[in-house]
Chain A
Amino acid sequence: MLSCEDLTKTYLSGGREITVLKGITFALEAGGFVAIVGPSGSGKSTLLGLLAGLDQPTAGKVVLDGQDLAALDEEGRARLRGEKVGFVFQSFQLIPTLTARENVQVPLELRGQDGRARAEELLDRVGLGGRGHHYPAQLSGGEQQRVALARAFSHRPKLLFADEPTGNLDSTTGATVIKLMNLMNEELGTTLVLVTHDPALATCARRVLRLADGALLSDETLVSAPRTDSR
């Protein structure tokens, strides 16, 4: 479903080249749930950005659902994201001028569908039925992240990238969000990529990639059943 090969990214900062990712290689099967963990500055977010086609690598390649991202231009990658990828962000990133329902509708509308019914259904699923007409500012952090989750799944993506999805939430709310993510992974078979600095959260995944200083430190598959009841 998702693979990368010798992925390297360097930035120019103050005239100096800084390598934030060094030759990352791994592959992820469809329906999998992987957590990318590491301390801040280890290159997790950069990796996520490259995997999702939000940024381009200095070297190496990413293949998403059989499609080499390097072969696409920015518009092509946008189209690919619109079709196959969902996102959950640490700071929710709901569009403040849209209601909860409209936020959920956006990915569908980008494909020319109305999505109103689907949005209502998803909001019901995340426990926000009846709150669809509220604006993000009228919702709590946990509620906003649940709307974001509904948005991420609205167009039935094959891949979901979650960047510190619980980072701005208290532990109980965070647990609810992770539980929902897990549930959808199971129901829809969506492949999950979770980025976090929290080792405890990573144990929810079935596979954990550890990053340090831009390099892949370890790649372990967790044998225990996913823990969906706690963090």
Chain B
Amino acid sequence: MKSLRFVLTMCWRESRAAPRRLALVMAAVAGGVAAMVAINSFADNLQESVREQAREMLGADLAVTAGTPFSARAEALANELESEAGAVARARVISFVAMVYAPKGAGSRVVQVEAYEPGFPFYGRIETEPAEAFTNLSEGGAVVDPALLGGLGVKVGDTVALGEARLTIRGTIVKAPGDLGLRVAMGPRVFIDLARVKETGLVIFGSRGRHELFFKLKSGGPDPERLADRFRPRFQIERVNIDTVAERERSLSESLGRLGRYLGLTGLLALVLGGLGVASAVNAFLKGKLATVAVLRCLGASAGQIFAVYLTQAAFVGLLGSLVGAALGTVVQALLPQALAGLLPADVRFGISTRAVIAGIGLGLWVSLAFSLLPLLAVRLVPPLAALRQAYEAGRAPRDRARWLAMAALGLSAMGAAFVQSGSLLSAIVFTAALSVALGLLFLAALALMRGVRRFTPQSLPYVWRQGLANLHRPANQTRTVVLALGFGIFLQGTLLVVQQSLLLDLNSEGAASERPNLAFMDIQKDQRAGLESMVAARGAAVRSTIAIVPMRVLTVKGRPVADLLSAPGTAEEIRGRWALRRQFMTTYRDRLTAAERVVAGRFWEKGAGASTAQGTAVPVSITTRLARELEVTVGDEIEWDVQGVPLLSRVTNLREVEWVRFEPNFLVLFPEGPLAQAPQMFAMLARMDDGNARAQIPREVSATFPNVSSLDLTQVLNAAEELVSRMVVAIRFMGLFSLAAGAIVLVGAISAGRRQRVREGVLLKTLGATRAQVLRILTAEYAALGLMSAVAALGLSTAAGWGLMRFAFESRFTLPLGGLLMLASAVVAGTIGVGLLGSREVFRHAPLEVLRED
């Protein structure tokens, strides 16, 4: 008890004296906590909003969905469902991709058509400008995304062509429930009345679309979830999915939660970096406290008591920092919706998330305790004798087992924090391991660079530069801490840059651009093929390839009918996961692999293998490894397909890996040439046309002659994809900024740790006749070298990490964005010099005598 009182009193008294150092620790903690609280509050609010808006987002109580028009049995089942549910209203919605062009204008665009039966949505509202435009759709016309107007060069009131139909634009879409900016980026939407679909003539054989039937239930009627569970098995056999508000909300909320948790890991990174700042600040703080500690020991304070004094102080400052951080994070949270604009399905309302705030404060406390523990342990070993002799030769510090324990505790608790944040043990382990490896490598790089500077600084360098560089490896330098913390922030930004640029460059692939197709035509019917080819060629485009596409579904897997597999018991999630059994596959046939494909199991067939397959035996088929996993088949297993009513038995002869990022048509299922030659099929065509103006004209002309054919100017798609990637990167980069800020705080801390020494040295130099300019140059040299070292080490690591990510995670080509990295490095060096000089300005403020007298 008396001990506790002493600890608290001393702790309070000690805190009064070093507001600057404590403020630094606070800032280090606050930055990380702010990041965590911001992202977690935001994720909580987003989930809460999704929960509140789920019904509006679905627009109904129950929905049944299929990728193709409903079969007669599915329709009958829907009717049964309707009557059993006591539905008060139902509405059908069909969505599909098509071309729109303006008969009077020049442009054409691929759009997402959504055809609604009047009455939908039952909940929520589709907001349009003018307001009644959507409800008046039954009178004809279309409501479109504003982006389409610009793209086509038309305005409200003009007519556009959609397939065979001519539609007057009645207004623009302001907001539809469940809006995803993602989808808008890939193609503007066109809303029409369901009755117009037939006029367009677009929903025909092989066209991809989404057919949905929505029900509004009587309130107080049967529970929609139980109803869905009961009907699901029968719908599954018809390859129709059934969805309720609760399920939609659950799955959306789950994926959003996961997204939030992973973004939160970047916040945790910032917090860990803040921890490094805490450790370095505490270390520097204690350096000035050794005499005090020794005296207290002389006066009879136990090692434990003194340790407790400073640990309590760390906890107290950490708590203050956490509180400030939590407040800051709550404010920053309001900015996140802008950073994530277009990626969110719901309106996010601003609110304070108690859970996130408490978790943030807890994590802040953890960071301040865990990271000050290591430097604080040294306090226990300060001998009282040090009070007696100022220059007490410390000798070699005794081996302290507690250090290892503290380090183990630090690592384990970091993993614990990552586990709490990500909700997955594997992620936590990967996070901690990756963090340790990155920090370890940065540490080694810092050591190597320090040694290199020491050994290889040329004697011919002017004195000021040599002195500045020597500062990096002199005793009690902060080089390692700064390289570690600053480097980590740069590393994150650098990796992001490498990945982003590689992805975009791979899409663009400027190197091979002159050969790549830049026009794609899809959904070409058999009888349109020749006409289209000659039409495109006549416009000066070179047809690169025409690919046959045969739609089919799985009939049996290893002899078991799909209906059995689909009606196997399972949770709603599991059943929803059986996509491979339900979906329609767009397959093709050829006897060679493309550059994006690689066989990983079995052997690819020889040319002509398909033709030589005997009648009635299984034809060879190649599927992707992912599909093989979904269907639970491997090389040698049999899959039977339903090719538009005709069964086709196949045997898996090899498994492929496909680089999907490449902008080429890729296929999950691939057959040899021959067996499918007579199957009902359509075609996709790739062409190359260099003249940009002429290329822009082609889709429009094609649409006029072949309304069902979608033409894509791939450069446009590329732009949309770039925008999408950029938007996602903005969100991650925003979070990464916290890490960079944490690095900067560590830098400030490091400078402040060496401040006294620095001022003394600067003054000494001035006493010896150095001019201000010379002192300034010494400091500039030091900070420039520090920034450069951090940047070189971090960007080296970024390059390696980026290469690894591209190679293994994205399975795509790696490109080194040299210009971007150089710019990042220059910014870091300039920033380091700026912060460094700002922090050292005291050197110039003191008169020599003032400081020397202080002794």
In whole Å, how far is A160's beta carbon from the nearest beta carbon of chain B? Answer: 12
Q: Roughly how many angstroms separate A82 CA and B292 CA in the complex, as a whole number?
A: 15
Annotate B364-392 by CB proximity to A: 1 below 8 A, 0 otherwise: 00000000000000000001110111100
Which of A19-27, A61-69, A96-104 participates in binding chain B?
A96-104
Number of interface residues of A (CB under 8 A): 34
Q: Using known A-B contacts A55-B385, A75-B303, A112-B2, determine if residue A97 contacts B16 with beta carbons closer than 8 Å.
A: yes
Annotate A55-98 by CB proximity to B: 1 below 8 A, 0 otherwise: 10000000000000000001100111111010101010111111
Contacts of A48 on B, CB cut-off 8 Å?
A: 388
Q: Roughly how many angstroms separate A80 CA and B5 CA in the complex, as a whole number?
A: 20
Q: Roughly how many angstroms separate A77 CA and B389 CA in the complex, as a whole number?
A: 19
Which residues of chain B in 394-416 are interfacial with respect to chain A, using CB atoms and an 8 Å cutoff? 395
Contacts of B389 on A, CB cut-off 8 Å?
A: 45
In whole Å, how far is A36's beta carbon from the nearest beta carbon of chain B? Answer: 13
In whole Å, how far is A170's beta carbon from the nearest beta carbon of chain B? Answer: 16
Q: Answer whether residue A111 sits at the interface, using C-beta atoms and an 8 A cutoff.
A: yes
Which of B46-54, B294-302, B673-681 participates in binding chain A?
B294-302
- B388 x A112 contact (CB < 8 A): no
Q: Roughly how many angstroms separate A48 CA and B390 CA in the complex, as a whole number?
A: 15
In whole Å, how far is A111's beta carbon from the nearest beta carbon of chain B? Answer: 7
Q: Answer whether residue A219 sits at the interface, using C-beta atoms and an 8 A cutoff.
A: no
Q: Answer whether residue B291 sits at the interface, using C-beta atoms and an 8 A cutoff.
A: yes
Contacts of B757 on A, CB cut-off 8 Å?
A: none
Q: Answer whether residue A124 sits at the interface, using C-beta atoms and an 8 A cutoff.
A: no
Contacts of B72 on A, CB cut-off 8 Å?
A: none
In whole Å, how far is A48's beta carbon from the nearest beta carbon of chain B? Answer: 7
Q: Answer whether residue A183 sits at the interface, using C-beta atoms and an 8 A cutoff.
A: no
Contacts of B395 on A, CB cut-off 8 Å?
A: 12
Which residue of chain A has the shortest Cβ distance to B306 in the bound complex? A78
Most buried by A among B9, B14, B297, B384: B384
- A85 x B300 contact (CB < 8 A): yes
Majority-rule SS of B interface residues: helix
Q: Answer whether residue A5 sits at the interface, using C-beta atoms and an 8 A cutoff.
A: no
- A95 x B383 contact (CB < 8 A): no
Which residue of chain B has the shortest Cβ distance to A89 in the bound complex? B387
Q: Answer whether residue B603 sits at the interface, using C-beta atoms and an 8 A cutoff.
A: no
Q: Answer whether residue A188 sits at the interface, using C-beta atoms and an 8 A cutoff.
A: no
In whole Å, how far is B4's beta carbon from the nearest beta carbon of chain A? Answer: 9
Q: Answer whether residue B183 sits at the interface, using C-beta atoms and an 8 A cutoff.
A: no
Which residue of chain B has the shortest Cβ distance to A12 in the bound complex? B395
- B292 x A83 contact (CB < 8 A): no
In whole Å, how far is A157's beta carbon from the nearest beta carbon of chain B? Answer: 10
Contacts of A54 on B, CB cut-off 8 Å?
A: 298, 383-385, 387-388
Which residue of chain A has the shortest Cβ distance to B390 in the bound complex? A91
- A89 x B302 contact (CB < 8 A): no
Q: Answer whether residue A109 sits at the interface, using C-beta atoms and an 8 A cutoff.
A: yes
Q: Roughly how many angstroms separate A229 CA and B297 CA in the complex, as a whole number?
A: 34
Q: Answer whether residue A163 sits at the interface, using C-beta atoms and an 8 A cutoff.
A: yes
Annotate A161-173 by CB proximity to B: 1 below 8 A, 0 otherwise: 0010000000000
- A75 x B302 contact (CB < 8 A): yes
Contacts of A109 on B, CB cut-off 8 Å?
A: 5-6, 9-10
Q: Answer whether residue A43 sits at the interface, using C-beta atoms and an 8 A cutoff.
A: no
Q: Which of B18, B291, B295, B385 contacts A49 (CB 8 A)?
A: B385
In whole Å, how far is A102's beta carbon from the nearest beta carbon of chain B? Answer: 6
Q: Answer whether residue A110 sits at the interface, using C-beta atoms and an 8 A cutoff.
A: yes
- B299 x A45 contact (CB < 8 A): no
Q: Answer whether residue A174 sits at the interface, using C-beta atoms and an 8 A cutoff.
A: no
Annotate B1-36 by CB proximity to A: 1 below 8 A, 0 otherwise: 111011001100110111000000000000000000
Which residue of chain A has the shortest Cβ distance to B384 in the bound complex? A54
Contacts of A111 on B, CB cut-off 8 Å?
A: 2
Q: Roughly how many angstroms separate A95 CA and B16 CA in the complex, as a whole number?
A: 13
In whole Å, how far is B849's beta carbon from the nearest beta carbon of chain A? Answer: 17
- A107 x B383 contact (CB < 8 A): no
Which residue of chain B has the shortest Cβ distance to A135 in the bound complex? B17
Contacts of B304 on A, CB cut-off 8 Å?
A: 75
Contacts of A112 on B, CB cut-off 8 Å?
A: 1-3, 5-6
- A93 x B300 contact (CB < 8 A): no
Q: Roughly how many angstroms separate A111 CA and B1 CA in the complex, as a whole number?
A: 10
Which residue of chain B has the shortest Cβ distance to A45 in the bound complex? B388
- B291 x A93 contact (CB < 8 A): yes
Q: Roughly how many angstroms separate A52 CA and B298 CA in the complex, as a whole number?
A: 9
- A79 x B388 contact (CB < 8 A): no
In whole Å, how far is B507's beta carbon from the nearest beta carbon of chain A? Answer: 60
Q: Roughly how many angstroms separate A49 CA and B296 CA in the complex, as a whole number?
A: 15
Q: Roughly how many angstroms separate A48 CA and B14 CA in the complex, as a whole number?
A: 29
Q: Answer whether residue A194 sits at the interface, using C-beta atoms and an 8 A cutoff.
A: no
Q: Answer whether residue A106 sits at the interface, using C-beta atoms and an 8 A cutoff.
A: yes
Contacts of A83 on B, CB cut-off 8 Å?
A: 300
Q: Roughly how many angstroms separate A162 CA and B294 CA in the complex, as a whole number?
A: 16
Residues on B facing A (Cβ under 8 Å): 1-3, 5-6, 9-10, 13-14, 16-18, 291-292, 294-305, 383-385, 387-390, 395
Question: What are 7 A-to-B residue pairs whose CB atoms are below 8 Å?
Answer: A49-B385, A49-B388, A87-B298, A97-B17, A106-B10, A109-B10, A110-B6
Residues on A facing B (Cβ under 8 Å): 12, 45, 48-49, 52, 54-55, 74-75, 78-83, 85, 87, 89, 91, 93-98, 102, 106-107, 109-112, 151, 163
Beyond A49-B385, A109-B6, list 15 extra A-B contacts (CB 8 Å): A54-B385, A75-B302, A78-B301, A79-B300, A79-B302, A87-B299, A89-B295, A93-B294, A96-B292, A97-B16, A97-B292, A106-B299, A110-B301, A112-B1, A112-B2
